[in-house]
Structure 1
């Protein structure tokens, strides 16, 4: 989560000082993201600070001067996970499943009987990360770019291998966990997990620009294009692709405005009952930096932040905030040139916040 720790810095400045700090804050963020789009591997960036201030840099397409759209749509990758974990926690609050009950209580035979719902949400299950065994690299990605995967096919890749460790003994990020979470939602609610997310989160919060694309390969609405290198290193426009290999672990599309609305509601306790809200951000000795669908990080300044990042071919996303209302949402479209934005993130942390 080093991207979380670095980019969150811009968020935390937003409510510090007097109102006149806003232009300075925007200017500092603008300087950093301009550097990222010129030498840090990003083609275009859009960022939203505290729901109000927006900055952007770069272009929407290679070979074009078209700017990145304000509040454009983008693939959010693993930022899908907090939406899914929120629905699972809602179901726990309704008494429809238990966090410390085995997954097999609802889905017998799907995964090892020792794996609990909590371990799935917290990445302590030991399930092999199926994406590590998929051809998602430049040489292999073209062969599966438009393939439609079922969640059962994805999970079969994971369960064909032994557990990486005994459940509950370690933390290791695995997309397989959230495929299991999606299947749990479907079993308990009797409807597609996408429908549950739409009815329980998108509709109440009026997230009209957030999409669970299912089998669609399109990015709807104004958007910047994402690029990924081919085997020779040449950037290829991969905006259109099947996100089914991510499914409940990473298929969603959204905007910085919608992500800001979601994160604000989530951290303010508006989507979960108090007991489940506490579980959302609870870490452990085994998982000191990850709750149940949210990463937890302490910045060098001492501030604790919560959020998630996500990557999918052509796009990178960051959504971070604090319970007292400070937030940053950022979308980065990749230029596929092998840049190293890490230094830019560190400078953002030091220059803008600390």
Structure 2
């Protein structure tokens, strides 16, 4: 989601000792050459660079087949100096969209939903001529984003912290927002699309969306740290604070928040390990039949001027790195951001989570952003990024939404340590 927020400040004091472990889970058949080991030292150094650039705390998991590396750096809480740990629960924001799209595509495979049908066939009370189910899932509907209406200032963010929003109300706010284009014309990211998609899921199945996704995906995969908080403001398991640099220079914690306003579009809590398990199962065809997985991976350019940089499918996108395309999604809510990218076959995987957002100007180099994407290139390609060219290209392709300042606030400047 793209949210306007205030100026950045210098991050809190230097962090704790690096927490990293390389795990070799299981053996390799004698007839097969073992894969090269994960670059543990480079990965540890990469997290340190994110911390040194100004991020209060960061953790990650990287997988290559049965090899697993986990690490963390910095503080979960800058006041108490509680250490960040790699197994923390984290709000994953828009990665929730991949869970929802996968569930809807299962219904497509069962003949209960048609991608190219008008979405009004399922939700006649919201119908818009020319908008199909597919257009909701690949963000080509032209429907505006409710974020732009609800979150226009820091005061709005604080006010909504404890407010419960029914999905119907959020959907109608988004449908009343300025349109981004004609149906099917071009890609324009809008959270309203996935609120409507969640309402379709409930209409078709007759069950709450969270219950249906849990029944079909979360429980069968054993994602025991993944759940929907509904109207609860609290993350139930061990977790970090979620910081936004505020107007007065403080790091304000938004880890406690009523996530009903992000229903369907970004309300899931998970861990890096659960996300890697989910995406491996998805990309290897364990959740969808081949036809539906192919539909999910049918993409539109995220930026028509650079069609080879990134493409958005149905709740899933690809981005080009020096070693080729990787698939996944990123997500952000106030104070928590996550990026989860994977090789096309789900073998090589990387998920990184950070506990500060909205810290820099969009479109301008920032050391935290550079370090984050350099880590991902190292994790997925096996060698450090040509600093910072490849990292900046990846960041530009997905246009990280945590770079947007609040209207009228002082222009942020990139922070150091």
Residue among 289, 306, 329 paired with 1:308: 329
Task: Tell me the distance in 2 between the aligned counterparts of 1:276 and 1:18.
Answer: 33
* Mapped pair 1:239 → 2:255: yes
Q: Which moved more, 1:336-345 or 1:183-192?
A: 336-345
Aligned to 2:135: 119
Aligned ranges 1:144-159 → 2 under 5 Å? 144-159=160-175
* Equivalent residue for 1:34, pick from 26, 34, 48: 48
Residue from 126, 142, 166 that aligns with 1:110: 126
Bigger Cα displacement from structure 2, 270-279 vs 226-235: 226-235
- Equivalent runs, 1:322-341 vs 2, <5 Å: 322-324=343-345, 325-334=347-356, 340-341=367-368
Deviating above 6 A after TM superposition, structure 1's stretches of 4 or more consecutive aligned residues are none
Residue 263 of structure 1 is matched in structure 2 by 279
Classify 1:213/1:346 alpha carbon distance in 2 versus 1 (closer, same or farther; 3 Å). Answer: closer
- 1:197-230, Cα deviation, whole Å (9 max, x unpaired): 1000011101111011111111111111111233
Instruction: Tell me which residue corresponds to 1:223.
Output: 239
- SS of 2:193 mapped into structure 1: helix
For residues 162 and 249 of structure 2, what CA distance do their matches in structure 1 show?
20
Residue equivalent to 1:344: 371
Shift of 1:285: 5.9
Given that residues 138 and 229 in structure 1 are in contact (C-alpha distance below 8 angstroms), is that contact kept between their aligned partners in structure 2? Answer: no
Q: CA–CA distance in 1 between the matches of 2:229 and 2:127?
A: 26
Please name the residue that 1:9 is paired with.
none
Deviation at 1:26, TM superposition (A): 1.9
Give, in whole Å, the separation in 2 of the partners of 1:66 and 1:136.
32
Q: 1:138 aligns with which of 144, 149, 154?
A: 154
Report if the CA contact (8 A) 1:77-1:251 is conserved. yes
Q: Which has the higher helix share?
A: 1
CA contact (8 A) 2:58 2:73 kept: yes
Q: Per-residue CA shift, 1:94-152, capped at 9, x if unaligned?
A: 00010000001111031313110000000000000111222264333111111111111
CA distance in 2, matches of 1:292, 1:336: 26
Structure 2, unaligned stretches of length 5 or more?
2-32, 361-365, 387-417
Q: Which has the higher contact order (CA 8 A, sep 6+)?
A: 1
Structure 2 match to 1:293? 315
CA distance in 1, matches of 2:127, 2:246: 35
Deviation at 1:239, TM superposition (A): 1.2
CA deviations over 1:294-353 (Å, ceiling 9, x no partner): 11112133x111000001011000111013311111111117765742221354337526
1:69, distance to aligned residue in structure 2 (A): 2.0
Output the TM-score relative to the length of structure 1: 0.89
Task: Tell me the distance in 2 between the aligned counterparts of 1:202 and 1:249.
Answer: 17
Q: Kindly state the Cα deviation for residue 189 of structure 1 after the two structures are TM-superposed.
A: 0.3
- 2:99 matched residue in structure 1: 83
Q: 1:92 to 1:346 in 2, by over 3 A?
A: closer
Q: How does 1:191-210 map to 2 (within 5 A)?
A: 191-210=207-226
Map of 1:253 onto structure 2: 269
- SS of aligned partner of 2:201: helix
CA contact (8 A) 1:139 1:230 kept: no
RMSD over aligned CA atoms reads: 2.1
Q: Is the 8 A contact 2:93 2:266 kept in 1?
A: yes
Deviations for 1:54-92, whole angstroms, at most 9, x for unmatched residues? 011111101233221231101000010000000110011
Deviation at 1:30, TM superposition (A): 1.5
Q: How many residue pairs are counted as aligned between the two chains?
A: 335
Q: Which runs of 5+ in 1 are unaligned?
A: 2-16
> TM-score, normalization: structure 2?
0.76
1:19 Cα offset (Å): 5.3
Within the candidate set 164, 167, 171, 2:183 is matched to 167
Alpha-carbon distance between aligned partners in 2 of 1:162 and 1:228, rounded to the nearest angstrom: 27
